[in-house]
Structure 1
Amino acid sequence: MRIIGDLGPYCLTSEGLREGPCAREVEEHRDLGYGSFNFLYGPSAGGLLESVGFEIATYGESIERIGHVPYKGRQIKITQLPVEEALIRVERINGAFAASHSISFLQAVEKAFEAEVPYEVTVSRMAQLELERIRNNLFVIQRVLESASFLVPSYLLLQQVEEVNRTIARSCGHRYFFGANYPGRVECEHEVPSLKIGDVEKILENRIFIDRLQGNGVIKEDNSIGPAARASGFRYDARLDSDLFVYRDFDLKVPTQDHGDAFSRILVRLEEIKESLRILQELRVKPHTFPMRVRDGEGIGRVESPSGDLAYLVRIRNGRIERAFLLAPSSVNMRLFLRSMPGNIFTDFPFNWESFGIWISELEVDLK
């Protein structure tokens, strides 16, 4: 059993819910003493994609302590709404992970309704998740390249990200999967993006680029998720745990690395892109509908988003959402990032930060 993270008042593990929050090691807050000082990086930090704040303690170069400063909290009301109306808000919590959020939410709803999901719908959702994984993994690598001022390869990767976006738009009607998933319905056709993965691999052979990533942000924790876990040698993947998908029918291969640094996280993401493309070649997707009988109940949905486990717990009464909780992968990865940063110098910050694929847009969400 592995611990994944807090899902509302519960601890989500690979085997289900456990009463109470997940136990964590308490950070020792020691006084750094003479010569140290604190400064605020952000909240609108140049070079970072989203506005985010950090309080950093240092003697001048090495980061000794770092903390996240929450200031971008969002309350999103979905309780007392019908499922379909709530879904519109859920899929927009983080547009980059819209497929992951909407599919996980619908899985929870279907569990509450005790609905039988057809194989065709399951396969269509797998295709969406793999397209989203390819796009976001390419984007993470691009962000790291941009941080290193490798602008030409960075723009080439943005071109490939755009190719994936257009493939998603042709397949599902929207570049970010908005409106692709409904209760009892999926609206996607089959298409595989045409990508030049060899060009990405050549970029990662550059010695200057490698030096900025190797040994940067080392973190090896059993309670980790997604590429961060797999870069540390842990073969953790919700696609292996879940009985709501059929990845085993397609011989899913989960790549791992051993060093737990930013470079390992990038290598894992690159291998995942190739594996996702292989799976997409084998899937056959078309629009499909199925009946769902509305009933009172509670359910959990969990998917492997591009950054790791993403889960919803939903309770439904009289056809409306009575309560809902979200476990966003960014909440777990933020904790891992903060623990990985001390001991690195400030110029290591952007490379390490981007390698985790954290989205502030989903980090500070409170479902009401």
Structure 2
Amino acid sequence: MRFIGKLENSCIYDVGEREDQCQDFSFHAGKSEGYGEFTFVYGPSAGGLTESVQFKIKTPGEQILEIEANPYFKKRKMKFSGRIEDVILKVERINAMFSASHSISFLIAVERSVDINVDYEVIMARIVELELERIRNHLHVLHKLAETGALGVASYQLQEMEERTNRLIGEACGHRYFFSSNWINSVNCDLEKVRLDYLDGFKSFFNDMLENRILIDRFQNNGKIDQDWLIGPAARASGRNYDSRYDSDSLPYKDLGFSPIVERSPDTFGRFLIRGMEILQSTEIIREALRKAKNGRGGEVKIKGVGSGMSRVESPSGDMVYKVKTDDGFISTSFLPPSKANLSFFLKSVIGTIFTDFPFNWEGFGIWISEIGVEKE
């Protein structure tokens, strides 16, 4: 069984949950050698860090021997219980960049908790949303990597593609971050407006990036990690076909002929390669899903009965898990975001590298601190 992470008191595996003992992810990695070392602090507000996070790094001068992260500078306490209309407003705003992943995983768990049948066409529309979100976020990560490598032209081109994806989402779904686009058994998007022609040249563009030896040399052998329980692009870069689109029954990706893209380069280069290739794959998934999807928001849905449900979908950075309990319309939920696992594995991958390689490794994992610093009231 593949271990996904710890959600409250449950251990989450790819086959479900177990009430047994499991360790939570650690935000400390490495071991000091005890001589000629000093510690310096990077963050919480520093160049190269988009969000507030602090790292304490122990080094003899260049190589990183020990590192500890504090992602709780902007801790948010949020109430994830009440009427579904109120809860989903908070769920989709935990991390705007992953709003579709959060809201769709939440809704699937709600639907399962009270045995609501979802139309197949709506399920396909949800897949379209998730793959648009994947394209947008992979472009964002590639842009940050190019920017870190001082490739100004490539960085601006990737930003332009990311912005066009945002505008496409906004035009089709009413909001560039999918706010208010999802509901029980419905997707509120005009899918006829989903056109991906602007990505026709991406394959050639990406191949050109792969020819830039200055950039690739900074990626290869940087942030190497080859461990079980990796998730998302980090897992697939290490040769593991871990992907909720493939090993979860939350969404029928296999109906679209999906199988994970896997490489054997467990470093920043491998994660860069996976994201570029998945952008191309996502465009094909979207085109196929659009043939089977439909528009329209469903009518008023009554959440009746008592029950619980769980779902697991593949966000752009890995497994997104939601667990829901319902009681005649009263909803309570908890979630396990991918950034928690990725931060833990990122810290392990840093040990032995040098600080000038730190930003490349950091951007390649696609971590969002906003997902980690959320607590239930």
**Kept in 1: contact 2:30–2:348 (CA 8 A):** no
After superposition, the Cα gap between the structure-2 partners of 1:330 and 1:24, relative to the gap in structure 1 and judged at 3 Å, is closer
Task: Give the aligned residue type for 2:328.
Answer: N
Unaligned runs of 5+ residues in structure 1 are none
Q: In the TM superposition, what are the counterparts of 1:214-363 in structure 2 within 5 Å?
A: 214-284=220-290, 285=293, 286-289=295-298, 293-321=303-331, 323-363=332-372
**Kept in 2: contact 1:228–1:356 (CA 8 A):** yes
Q: Does 1:192 pair with 2:198?
A: no
CA distance, structure 1, for counterparts of residue 255 and residue 186 of structure 2: 23
Q: Does 1:366 pair with 2:375?
A: yes
CA distance, structure 2, for counterparts of residue 221 and residue 168 of structure 1: 35
Q: Write the deviation string for residues 122-172 of structure 1: whole angstroms up to 9, x where unpaired.
A: 001000000000000011010011111111110010000011111111211
Task: Give the aligned residue type for 1:225.
Answer: I
**Kept in 2: contact 1:122–1:244 (CA 8 A):** no
Q: Which residue of 2 aligns with 1:133?
A: 134
**Kept in 1: contact 2:246–2:259 (CA 8 A):** no
CA distance, structure 1, for counterparts of residue 376 and residue 127 of structure 2: 26
CA distance, structure 2, for counterparts of residue 144 and residue 169 of structure 1: 25
CA distance, structure 2, for counterparts of residue 73 and residue 172 of structure 1: 30
**Kept in 1: contact 2:271–2:365 (CA 8 A):** yes
CA distance, structure 1, for counterparts of residue 29 and residue 67 of structure 2: 12
Moved more, 63-72 or 49-58: 63-72
CA distance, structure 2, for counterparts of residue 20 and residue 327 of structure 1: 17
Shift of 1:98: 0.2
Shift of 1:242: 2.1
Cα RMSD (Å) of the superposition? 1.7
Structure 2-normalised TM-score?
A: 0.93
Q: Write the deviation string for residues 73-116 of structure 1: whole angstroms up to 9, x where unpaired.
A: 2111122x101110001000000000000001101111111111
Moved more, 149-158 or 241-250: 241-250
Shift of 1:50: 1.2
Structure 1-normalised TM-score?
A: 0.96
Moved more, 32-41 or 19-28: 19-28
Shift of 1:188: 1.5
CA distance, structure 2, for counterparts of residue 216 and residue 125 of structure 1: 35
After superposition, the Cα gap between the structure-2 partners of 1:102 and 1:28, relative to the gap in structure 1 and judged at 3 Å, is closer
